[in-house]
Chains A and B, each alone.
Chain A
């Protein structure tokens, strides 16, 4: 429970369905000596979660995961940025904090399931193997961050919201009289706080990220200057400050030259990449080579592609249409229609 609408409604649904529900909240790391609490565990959100639990007549506990969150999520976030990767910390958080630490505590305390407010669906196929499906609300689907889950974990997972749209969930919050804040869904990272984005966080915690360099075009002409490669993502258009008749996008980050290569949208040409640390939801790939829909970041559209397995945790992906923003460090998640097959981290390696 986070004190937000989604986890509150998820809890209410389970209570209605007759489950014995216990509310648990994670205390996560936030920047010390500042008013910036981790958005997920401000005193307000904790008080809200407690009230929801009380309204639902369920017990409520808070688990301390600050050290673990810092070590597993924040440190690797910083590490990735200083090693030329653009991380998605939500994936690490799910993998280590929620579905290992929290799940282990829940099971040890006698629970059978860990339920979350993620918009995703869980089914079992004819062989009783678990399948992770996208949520019915394609605009809210969160199967992307859950691609790290194993059969063992899915055996203990419940996703009550997967069958509903966000609008329906908000309506249910009213129906259940849940005193949750009508908080707009935030896109920012939870530990960065309300007053900034990842760039401010990096500036505070990774001073070496501030390394000015050149912005060049594909021909090598110098068009401008940047403050540090870490502050830009592939496919980014804003913040370049380069006057140009046509819109310019970050095509590539050249780490050896500390330069950003920009160009027009259609000039980015990469259509294939390697993916490491692959997790297969079914426990193994469908085949040594197969087609799938690929999402190269959380909010990306599906792109059809051909997947080839290289070894047990590496695959090669060749996409039908070259997107402009293949970003090492982000997760590439594979789908067969509604079914999430799994995925891994887009590699720096190009061959």
Chain B
């Protein structure tokens, strides 16, 4: 399949690996290939690379190196944060209550659901406003002495809305309750300074910020213990066993460093394009709504719902016109159901099935956006005509 003329507008799904990141990874496949746990020089070289990468991430987040552990992806970090905290909190202080927002990524919501249905935890969903935002006051109302963990997503993958992590974190800290945030989408654009975030556990995944797929990290605030899921050789301070994926770790660290160093520049070039996209679509196409907060949202993110449109068919037609986007309600098996996020925000099926997410990135040009803006209204009206 020829992808040459396709315009990629799905950066929230994944990003291409930055050539600078690619370069930095290469030596670790064949030359410096050792196992960091080995005593010999091969191991020492690998360990050195591992710890340098850890330090890079720690410096970027203004935390200690031993507070960063490496995982296989953002989902694994989410799983580890939630399960690891829940089981230990129940064991140590009988805490059995889980508090999450209703618009979390499935890596959090499905994990929490399993903790409830199989492991007997009590799962409660925080209130959100019509933009999917949870406020500190919302959390304050729901916090209980027996709350094991609170998890609120930093920036929503589906609708782009940003949550006030800092104030929620401060509240949880004052009540001695563990607070986690899924920062997978946020890590490429927003501050990741742990001191301003006031958060105990932070998940990231490299492939959202121009690093490779298959590598992530979890920040665990010093002094906090969580129960490891993956046990074995004691790597990663005992939190996550398994021989570390050195080339990918090195790549992730560099990608993360670059993202944080360049975030203002990346934001200032993307935001105007994205704002123009939103403005044009809302103006030109009838029966459309922007989902998520209009201002407090990721700078590259646009998400819409179109009344009376099948999101799946919309993506197919856009793909055939050369534009790659995604949707909260579409599914590769042609079995679109409105997403949990849109349903919990109260949108009716007729609207929620027609969701479209357009996310821009480093290689997006304004002519690509212009091209997209010419095509989308035609496609929407064609689809409405045949339904």
Query: A residues within 8 Å of B by Cβ?
Result: 22, 25-27, 41, 43, 46, 57-59, 61-64, 66, 101, 104-105, 108-110
| Given A64-B334, A105-B313, A108-B383, 18 further pairs, Cβ under 8 A | A22-B320, A25-B334, A26-B334, A57-B1, A58-B1, A59-B319, A61-B319, A62-B312, A62-B332, A62-B335, A63-B334, A64-B312, A64-B313, A64-B335, A66-B335, A101-B386, A109-B317, A110-B320
Contact check, B316 vs A61: say whether CB atoms are below 8 A apart.
yes
CA distance A221 to B332 in the complex (A): 59
Contact check, A43 vs B320: say whether CB atoms are below 8 A apart.
no
A24 → chain B, closest Cβ, in Å?
A: 8
A-B contact pairs, 25 of them (CB 8 A): A25-B334, A26-B334, A27-B333, A41-B334, A46-B333, A59-B320, A61-B316, A61-B334, A62-B312, A62-B334, A62-B335, A63-B312, A63-B316, A64-B312, A64-B336, A101-B386, A105-B313, A105-B316, A108-B317, A108-B382, A108-B383, A108-B385, A108-B386, A110-B320, A110-B321
In the complex, residue of chain B having the shortest beta-carbon distance to the beta carbon of A101:
B386
Residues of B with C-beta under 8 A to A64: 310, 312-313, 334-336
Residues of A with C-beta under 8 A to B320: 22, 59, 109-110
Contact check, A27 vs B334: say whether CB atoms are below 8 A apart.
yes
- Contacts A43-B333, A62-B334, A109-B316 known; A104 to B386 CB distance under 8 Å? yes
Interface flags for B131-173 (1: CB within 8 Å of A; 0: not) read 0000000000000000000000000000000000000000000
Interface residues on B, range: 10 to 19
Residues of B with C-beta under 8 A to A62: 312, 332-335
In the complex, residue of chain A having the shortest beta-carbon distance to the beta carbon of B320:
A109
B336 → chain A, closest Cβ, in Å?
A: 6
Residues of B with C-beta under 8 A to A41: 334
Residues of A with C-beta under 8 A to B317: 108-109
CA distance A22 to B1 in the complex (A): 11
Residues of B with C-beta under 8 A to A109: 316-317, 320
Interface residues of B in 296-330 (CB under 8 A from A): 310, 312-313, 316-317, 319-321
Interface residues of B in 326-350 (CB under 8 A from A): 332-336
Residues of B with C-beta under 8 A to A22: 320
Residues of B with C-beta under 8 A to A25: 334
Residues of A with C-beta under 8 A to B336: 64
Contact check, A105 vs B386: say whether CB atoms are below 8 A apart.
yes
Interface flags for B370-386 (1: CB within 8 Å of A; 0: not) read 00000000000011011
Residues of A with C-beta under 8 A to B1: 57-59
Residues of B with C-beta under 8 A to A43: 333
Residues of B with C-beta under 8 A to A105: 313, 316, 386
CA distance A41 to B332 in the complex (A): 13
Residues of A with C-beta under 8 A to B313: 63-64, 105
Residue with the highest number of chain A CB atoms closer than 10 Å, among B316, B334, B383: B334
CA distance A58 to B382 in the complex (A): 23
CA distance A63 to B316 in the complex (A): 9
Residues of B with C-beta under 8 A to A101: 386
CA distance A159 to B383 in the complex (A): 26
In the complex, residue of chain B having the shortest beta-carbon distance to the beta carbon of A25:
B334
A20 → chain B, closest Cβ, in Å?
A: 10
In the complex, residue of chain B having the shortest beta-carbon distance to the beta carbon of A68:
B387
In the complex, residue of chain B having the shortest beta-carbon distance to the beta carbon of A27:
B334
